[in-house]
Structure 1
Amino acid sequence: GARTLHRRALAAFGYGPKTLARVLRLQRALRLARAGVPYAACAARAGYADQAHLARDVKELAGRPLGRLLGGG
């Protein structure tokens, strides 16, 4: 059930399944960005509603803006 899944995810990853899904989606977007795909296209291909949604998730999960996370200014 849902509670069992949540408990197992907490034990394995330290956070719940929804946060795990956000982390995996962010990793997909970062992989695309590192390959030179424009940020808006990264967001769309990784499953974000738009580039602003990607930017918010990066800031929340990584603690810094997308450009800085990828090594820019």
Structure 2
Amino acid sequence: MCQHQPACPSADSADREAAQLVAHFPQQGWSLLCNGVLCFEDTGELLPDGRIIAPHRPLGTGQVMTAA
């Protein structure tokens, strides 16, 4: 699918989010990458084969997790 040189990471690759942006719709909360991955603003993803990647937001800096 990707025509870039060097080729962008595939949708199955761990670094799939590094692929080039093809379409961006911030008002709808999603973007399409050239490898066919739909990225959502909540950091979730939909892969071209229909698999779903759950949101994976990192913790903000300065946050401390404590046990109750």
Which category describes the TM-score, using the shorter chain as reference length? under 0.3
Structure with the higher fraction of residues in helix conformation: 1
Report the structure, 1 or 2, having the larger strand content: 2
